């Protein structure tokens, strides 16, 4: 069937991307994406992925600047080990590197969200608790932490307008943090880092979501970003999962591993690319992806809103430096399962490439193992494909086969290639033929039809790829006009003669 992209929508898409300038790369803000990390479509192969429309996220999905409140408390037997200013730097300062941290908490979320979530903490304290730390630690279960929480809220109530932290104005706060002096206890005893709920009300809002984090005196960011994942987004602890997400294991306190690409795509931080059974069975173009660029999704046809397989290119650099391998990382999700509480059926689990030919892919270790291994990743030379026949342990939870087939997975590098099904054509090289040029009078390539919008062919209504066709050469335009790709990124300008730069086949916007 035929789909059309309206010029108006294309221009809006480009304008939105052009205005978006808060880019964080490896913990530092930069004016533009480095070449090796640019999140762009590769039009040099004549391919434009049709990203899925994410109308509603499964988890809470705040956007933009989120104001978070942090309240500091110490004790007579454990006094404040750091100053308020040092805590503010730890939470907010760009490029924070004290004690070996890779950025601040704010840097972390700007980084993994591609600049779409700015978690800004406002800090008050220190408050001296009524009892020694040992008193709270001597209470059972949540009694100690609940007592301290209410005490802290009461103390800061005259100083703080809690309604400021109801970011979406729904009557509840999204992010209130209590940081207490000293090390945390083990789970379930006294004071330990955790995220929780409260029925407390202040300034007309319910202080629903909060978390507690310890401050032993040396800085690390893992605990704070992990507990924020529970508190702000509602992500569960990923037991029996490994090191592949900060909501899983704890491989690095100073440079926490990134949020997994499935959760990132659910937030809208990277695009989903939906794959269908038609894509598996028909001829397709070889897929090319940069690390963390897309999250490919193949839904269970019988339960499309609940269950599916997802995969993305994960490389052990930057936030994922601690991982022991690189390649396609595949996951199996089921939204009908609440979190990861039983090893046989998990809400989100890793599909291990090394389970090829095995009858089971159940991870025996809950935590802190299983860690990560190189053989978890699909890649050329070891595990270069996935199919039901090769992976009898990977089935929908009903027991039925998935129908998914991935072949010709390449070698991890700047990009990684793979084929959906087994009928792939090679990517079109931009140097294999003369680059085609575009109209100077429209914001997109002209076509051979009478329509004002470019015509695009696709294999199905839900295809994961769109092939640009019928692009023709055109005359000169106004010298200096700037040319942008569909992400709103500048790709060149007309020269002094008004000639377009050499560009690969694709859709572009010309700003006059």
Residues 6+ apart with CB under 8 A from 404: 275, 280, 298, 309, 386, 387, 388
Per-residue buried b or exposed e for 429-466, using 16+ beta carbons within 10 Å of the residue's own CB = ebeeeeebbbbbebbbbbbeeeeebbbbebbeeebbbb
Q: Is 376 helix (H, G, I), strand (E, B) or coil?
A: helix
What mean pLDDT do residues 46-59 have? 66
Q: Is 177 helix (H, G, I), strand (E, B) or coil?
A: strand
Closest CA relative to residue 403, chosen from 390, 387, 391: 387
Assess contact for 457 and 4: CB atoms under 8 A.
Answer: no
Q: What is the DSSP letter of 397?
A: T
DSSP string, 6-71: -HHHHHHHHHHHHH---EEETTEEESS--GGG-----GGGTEE--PPP--S-SS----EEEEEEEE
**Phi-psi region at 203: left, alpha or beta (left = phi > 0; alpha = psi -120 to 50):** left
Q: What pLDDT band is residue 441 in, cutting at 50, 70 and 90?
A: very low
Q: Which residue has the higher pLDDT, 364 or 28?
A: 364
311-356: pLDDT as tens digits: 999 999 999 999 999 999 999 999 999 888 877 789 999 999 999 9
**What is the distance of C-alpha 124 from the center of its chain?**
30
Q: Return the axis-axis angle of helices 84-92 and 105-112, rounded to nearest 10°.
A: 10
DSSP string, 321-363: TTSS--EEEEEEEETTS-SS-STTS-SEEEE-GGGTT-S----
462-476: pLDDT as tens digits: 333 322 222 233 456
Which tokens go with 123?
């800090």
Residues 6+ apart with CB under 8 A from 506: 41, 43, 46, 48, 445, 468, 485, 486
Neighbours of 100 (CB within 10 A): 12
| Domain limits, the chain | 22-39+58-235, 262-425, 468-511
Q: What pLDDT band is residue 184 in, cutting at 50, 70 and 90?
A: confident
What mean pLDDT do residues 49-61 have? 77
Say which residue the tokens 């004071």 belong to: 191
Quick one: pLDDT at residue 311?
Answer: 99
Any idea which of 67-71, 380-384, 407-411, 423-427 has the lowest mean pLDDT?
A: 423-427
Q: Is the whole-model pTM more than 0.85?
A: no
Residue 67 scores a pLDDT above 90: yes
Say which residue the tokens 């997975």 belong to: 409
Residue 220 scores a pLDDT above 90: yes
Quick one: pLDDT at residue 461?
Answer: 31
Report angle CA 356, 359, 364 to the nearest 5 degrees.
Answer: 95
Any idea which of 422-426, 427-431, 468-472, 479-483 has the lowest mean pLDDT?
A: 468-472
Burial of 424 (0-12, 13-18, 19+ CB in 10 A): middle
Which tokens go with 217?
């005196």
Longest Cα–Cα distance of the chain, Å, equals 81
Neighbours of 99 (CB within 10 A): 13
């Amino acid at each position: 069937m035929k789909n059309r992209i309206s010029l108006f929508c294309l221009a809006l898409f480009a304008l939105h991307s052009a205005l978006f300038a808060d880019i964080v790369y490896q913990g530092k803000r930069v004016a533009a994406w480095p070449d090796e990390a640019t999140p762009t479509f590769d039009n040099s192969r004549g391919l434009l992925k049709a990203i899925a429309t994410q109308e509603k996220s499964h988890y809470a999905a705040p956007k933009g600047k989120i104001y978070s409140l942090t309240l500091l408390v110490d004790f007579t037997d454990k006094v404040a080990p750091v100053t308020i200013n040092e805590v503010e730097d730890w939470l907010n300062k760009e490029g924070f590197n004290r004690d070996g941290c890779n950025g601040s908490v704010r840097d972390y979320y700007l980084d993994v969200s591609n600049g779409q979530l700015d978690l800004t903490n406002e800090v008050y304290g220190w408050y001296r608790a009524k009892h020694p730390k040992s008193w709270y630690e001597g209470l059972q279960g949540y009694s100690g932490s609940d007592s301290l929480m209410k005490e802290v809220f009461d103390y800061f109530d005259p100083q703080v307008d809690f309604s400021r932290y109801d970011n979406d104005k729904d009557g509840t706060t999204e992010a209130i943090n209590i940081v207490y002096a000293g090390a945390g206890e083990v789970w379930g005893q006294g004071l330990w880092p955790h995220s929780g709920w409260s029925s407390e009300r202040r300034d007309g809002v319910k202080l629903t979501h909060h978390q507690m984090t310890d401050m032993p005196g040396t800085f690390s960011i893992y605990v704070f970003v992990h507990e924020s994942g529970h508190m702000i987004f509602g992500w569960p602890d990923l037991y029996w999962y490994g090191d592949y997400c900060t909501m899983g294991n704890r491989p690095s306190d100073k440079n926490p591993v990134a949020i997994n690409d499935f959760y990132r795509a659910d937030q809208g931080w990277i695009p989903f690319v939906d794959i269908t059974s038609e894509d598996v069975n028909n001829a397709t173009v070889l897929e090319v992806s940069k690390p963390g660029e897309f999250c490919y999704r193949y839904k269970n046809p019988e339960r499309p809103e609940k269950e599916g397989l997802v995969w993305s290119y994960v490389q052990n650099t930057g936030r994922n430096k601690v991982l022991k391998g690189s390649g396609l990382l595949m996951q199996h999700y089921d939204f009908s399962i609440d979190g990861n509480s039983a090893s046989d059926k998990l809400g989100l689990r890793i599909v291990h490439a090394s389970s090829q030919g095995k009858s089971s892919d159940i991870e025996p270790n809950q935590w802190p193992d299983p860690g990560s291994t190189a053989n978890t990743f699909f890649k050329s030379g070891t595990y270069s494909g996935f199919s039901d026949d090769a992976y009898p342990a990977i089935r929908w939870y009903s027991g039925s086969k998935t129908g998914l087939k991935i072949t010709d997975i390449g070698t991890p590098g700047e990009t990684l290639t793979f084929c959906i099904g087994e009928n792939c054509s090679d990517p079109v090289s931009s140097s294999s033929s003369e680059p085609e040029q575009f109209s100077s009078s429209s914001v997109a390539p002209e076509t051979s039809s009478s329509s004002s919008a470019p015509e695009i062919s696709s294999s199905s209504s839900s295809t994961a790829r769109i092939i640009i066709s019928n692009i023709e050469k055109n005359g000169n335009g106004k010298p200096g006009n700037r040319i942008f790709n569909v992400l709103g990124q500048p790709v060149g300008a007309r020269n002094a003669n008004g000639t377009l730069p050499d560009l690969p086949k694709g859709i572009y916007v010309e700003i006059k």
